[in-house]
Amino acid sequence: MKWKRKANRRPPTELRKIIHIDMDAFFASVEQRDNPELRGKPIAVGGSKMRGVVAAASYEARVFGVRSAMPSVTAKRLCPDLIFVKSSFDKYREVSDQIREIFYSYTDLVEPLSLDEAYLDVTETKRGPASATLVAQAIRQEIFEATQLTASAGVSFNKFLAKVASDINKPNGLKVIMPDDAPAFLAALPVEDFHGIGKVTAARMHKMGYRSGADLLTLSEVEMAQRFGKVGRHYYRIVRALDDRPVNPNRNRKSVGAERTYSEDVTALSEMKDKLDWLAEKVFDYLVERDNFGRTVTLKMKSPEFVIHTRSRSFNGEIRKLVDLKEIAHQLLTENIDDVPVVRLLGLSVSNLEREGGEGLQLLLPFEEE
């Protein structure tokens, strides 16, 4: 009988071996793989020339500044030769399932973050070498052989460092951060490259004179909290490579949302959009306040018969502008208005947050705005 190692037992003091795998421009790369005429050309998945929002952009398009969650009209202005491709989420899920099968062949401790990225704890594996670096190389090779797509990987002793590392040598790259190398790596790292420090907070840090990890290391935990609020304590830990979060195969999605039940049924599309704009502003204000943005937008609609419909859209990058959040919400509404032409409740939430912890938050709002 073949002995099977269990991937969830180890001494509590043993350093973990964590891999973060992130597919390279996943949606766009799948489309370029399946259509040779798109290879080497700037493409945007989703949206159109006149309306909509970009769900993903190829690396050829990113050179021009095109990014996910960008209005299509802006993307086209930045890159006049941009080719818009209709999204195929059933196909992306199928490819994602192929990739996850490879993950699970090495360990049961897999924490998917989205269709195209996941954490893996390979401290003990079902097969393959003992080296996490060699496991990461093998996984990337197997992904390419199975899908003809490339993936980047970060390898380290905790989730934070593995996540940061996976971005270092993109696309099709590998970065390893060993325990002895972590202090110098983090000291030299620009604050905007710390996972969990958003653009707004990074700009604020720059104004305060903090531009790198070395600058943040001069602050005590109390000083961090005084300058940046409760999240400052988190910054204090990550700049010191302190992150004891385990890879959680049963990870719950976290979200921030707002919903409103109306005293009278809403029948006009224009009025629904106005009410969604109000909800979007409430949600976005909360995200901005905590500098913590997300990649998935979900629209909730309840009919007068109390039937609930939800529709979601995910993007490769976080939605960081209110105008983009509103446009995505309008698009989801317009696409599904035939299913729920009259509503008594509308809700809007953002999930797949940069920093996820605790349960999903539903903002408390009065019954109906004045």
Of the candidates 60, 111, 117, 327, the residue annotated as catalytic is 117
Between CA 93 and CA 133 the distance in angstroms is: 27
Give the alpha-carbon dihedral of 77, 82, 83, 89, to 10 degrees.
Answer: -80
Q: Is 350 helix (H, G, I), strand (E, B) or coil?
A: strand
In a 3-state reduction of DSSP, which class is residue 344?
strand
As a whole number of angstroms, the distance between CA 227 and CA 198 comes to 15
Residue 277 labeled ligand binder:
no
52: number of Cβ within 10 Å: 21
Q: Which residues contact 132 (CB under 8 A, 6 or more apart)?
A: 17, 18, 19, 122, 155, 176
Tokens of 148: 């003809």
C-beta of residue 36 within 8 angstroms of C-beta of residue 54: no
Give the DSSP letter of residue 108: S
Q: Which residue has the tokens 């930045």?
A: 78
> Coil, helix or strand for 146?
helix
What single letter denotes the amino acid at residue 106? Y
Q: Binding residue per annotation — 22?
A: yes
* 37: enclosing H helix or E strand: none
Question: CA distances (Å), 60 to each of 50, 66, 151, 338, in order?
Answer: 21, 9, 17, 37
Report strand pairing: 174-176 vs 151-156: parallel
Please give the structure tokens belonging to residue 150.
């490339």
CA angle 229, 231, 237 (to 5 degrees): 125
What does DSSP say about strands 18-23 and 117-121: parallel, antiparallel, or unpaired? antiparallel
117 catalytically annotated: yes
Under 8 Å CB-to-CB from 3, ≥6 apart: which residues?
A: none
The binding site for Mg(2+) comprises 22, 116
The binding site comprises 22, 116
Catalytic positions are 117
